[in-house]
């Protein structure tokens, strides 16, 4: 096609130079305009040839510089984040530079085969789920175990994670060998000593945070009650009620476990690096593209090294839970919970033979003194 056009333009020039045709006649014969005819004559005189020329500009004033493009590519390879977050990070890191629009970031990533085009997911609603609202740091700490996985040495790793809902700060990410209380409690104790106590901790109903016993009592949440921490438990199979924590888990999995490290110690180093990056560098849309560390402050409630026993109002009858998990009610010994053995509970008569069972400031349930049936609270 290109060759035939070039030949036609050459014939046009030869016909005009023969003197037998006027410019108007030749343009009508070849189906071109007079300016086009004169353009071919100019090309002939300059020796430029008749092939089509590119209309692209020789220079693009808006083209992103190679140095800026290299920084964008390097940031993508370092973090793996999308264009919006990368742009925010680079603007903070290099404030004196001029950074292109988000669409240009995506174009650059696409050009370097670094843009993952995922299918848009359908948004589902969750009837009955109440969004978690906080107004200050340390009001609610969501906690969970991210799904276990094996490290290179064949052992399982169970990452215990703690975040601050208000600031999105990742306060702890510690790889454990199991979900047992013996491993989890020291992580919380170290965290409490370092940054203080939250007002509430929010978890699912799995071990070690809760049990199937009355009020979901476990050794861990009993300790939290002793420290004056409210334990919020989301409904079963409702991870969306810890939504911000679940989103953090997706980032944690993508950036630290694919593939997993060779050992638990090596994996913990990756968790530590992720935590610093997540808190200090990564902008979060939920907090107006700020970093968690810019919003989070330590708690004003210090960790007490000695537990203060509960002080019940005078109208409550105090009972000590036996080593078998029972307590005395008149001449009976109803079972309450093994995790409360040795602890003092309060009994408050609220009806004809109906008693509230209280531990610190928490209502654990009610007991009917006639049947000894205990109805736990949620």
Q: Is there a domain that residue 309 lies in? A: no
Q: Is there a domain that residue 279 lies in? A: yes
Provide the domain limits for residue 85. 66-111
At 198-249, the pLDDT tens digits run: 999 999 889 999 998 888 999 999 999 999 999 988 877 666 667 788 889 9
Residues 6+ apart with CB under 8 A from 102: 83, 84, 87
pTM: 0.71
Q: What pLDDT, on the 0 to 100 scale, is given for residue 128?
A: 35
Q: Is there a domain that residue 326 lies in? A: yes
Q: What pLDDT, on the 0 to 100 scale, is given for residue 50?
A: 64
Whether residue 252 sits in one domain with residue 183: yes
Indicate whether 294 pLDDT > 90: yes
Whether residue 260 sits in one domain with residue 145: yes
Q: Is there a domain that residue 268 lies in? A: yes
Whether residue 225 sits in one domain with residue 147: yes
At 49-60, the pLDDT tens digits run: 766 655 555 555
| Short-list 40, 273, 64, 242, CA closest to 146 | 242
**Number of compact structural domains in the chain:** 4
At 136-176, the pLDDT tens digits run: 999 999 999 988 999 999 999 999 999 999 999 999 999 99
Q: What percent of the chain has pLDDT over 70?
A: 89
Q: Is there a domain that residue 52 lies in? A: no
* CA 136/CA 218 separation, integer angstroms: 28
Whether residue 154 sits in one domain with residue 231: yes
Indicate whether 107 pLDDT > 80: yes
Whether residue 265 sits in one domain with residue 151: yes
Whether residue 92 sits in one domain with residue 19: no
Whether residue 107 sits in one domain with residue 194: no
**Chain centroid offset of residue 182 CA:** 27
Whether residue 176 sits in one domain with residue 30: no
Tell me the longest C-alpha to C-alpha distance in the chain: 131
Q: What SS3 class is residue 304?
A: coil
Question: Strand 156-163 vs strand 149-150: parallel, antiparallel, or unpaired?
Answer: antiparallel
Burial of 340-378, coded b for 16+ CB within 10 Å and e otherwise, reads: beebbbbbbeeeeeebbbbbbebebbbbebeeeebeeee
Whether residue 285 sits in one domain with residue 212: yes
Question: Strand 344-351 vs strand 354-359: parallel, antiparallel, or unpaired?
Answer: antiparallel
Whether residue 215 sits in one domain with residue 345: no
Q: What pLDDT, on the 0 to 100 scale, is given for residue 7?
A: 79
Whether residue 290 sits in one domain with residue 158: yes
Q: Is there a domain that residue 220 lies in? A: yes
Element (H, E) at 189: helix 181-195
* CA 17/CA 5 separation, integer angstroms: 19
Q: What pLDDT, on the 0 to 100 scale, is given for residue 171?
A: 97
Between 33 and 273, where is the model more confident?
273
């Amino acid at each position: 096609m290109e060759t035939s056009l070039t030949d036609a333009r050459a014939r046009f020039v030869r016909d005009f130079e023969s003197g037998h045709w006027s410019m108007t006649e030749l343009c009508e014969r070849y189906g071109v305009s007079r300016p086009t005819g004169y353009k071919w004559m100019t090309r002939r005189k300059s020796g430029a040839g008749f092939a089509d020329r590119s209309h692209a500009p020789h220079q693009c004033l808006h083209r992103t510089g190679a140095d800026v493009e290299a920084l964008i590519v390097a940031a993508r390879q370092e973090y793996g984040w999308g264009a919006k977050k990368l742009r925010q990070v680079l603007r903070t890191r290099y404030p004196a530079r001029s950074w292109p629009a988000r669409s240009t970031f995506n174009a650059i990533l696409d050009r370097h085969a670094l843009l993952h085009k995922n299918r848009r997911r359908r948004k589902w609603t969750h009837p009955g789920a109440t969004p978690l609202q906080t107004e200050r740091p340390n009001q609610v700490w969501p906690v969970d175990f991210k799904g276990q996985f094996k490290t290179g040495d064949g052992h399982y790793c169970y990452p215990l994670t703690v975040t601050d809902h208000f600031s999105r700060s990742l306060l702890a990410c510690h790889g454990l060998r199991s979900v047992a209380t013996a491993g989890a409690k020291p992580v919380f104790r170290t965290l409490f000593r370092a940054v203080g106590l939250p007002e509430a901790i929010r978890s699912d109903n799995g071990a070690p945070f809760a049990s199937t016993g009355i009020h979901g009592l476990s050794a861990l949440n009993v300790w939290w009650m002793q420290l004056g921490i409210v334990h919020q438990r989301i409904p079963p199979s409702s991870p969306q009620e810890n939504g911000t924590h679940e989103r953090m888990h997706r980032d944690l999995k993508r950036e630290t476990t694919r593939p997993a490290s060779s050992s638990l110690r090596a994996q913990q180093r990756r968790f530590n690096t992720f935590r610093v990056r997540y808190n200090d560098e990564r902008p979060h849309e939920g907090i107006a593209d700020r970093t968690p560390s810019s919003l989070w402050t330590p708690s004003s409630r210090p960790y007490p090294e000695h537990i203060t026993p509960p002080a019940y109002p005078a109208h409550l009858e105090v009972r000590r839970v036996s080593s078998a998990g029972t307590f005395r009610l008149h001449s009976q010994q109803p079972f309450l919970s093994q995790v409360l053995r040795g602890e003092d509970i309060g009994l408050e008569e609220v009806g004809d033979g109906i008693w509230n069972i209280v531990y610190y400031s928490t209502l654990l349930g009610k007991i009917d003194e006639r049947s000894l049936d205990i109805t736990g609270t949620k």
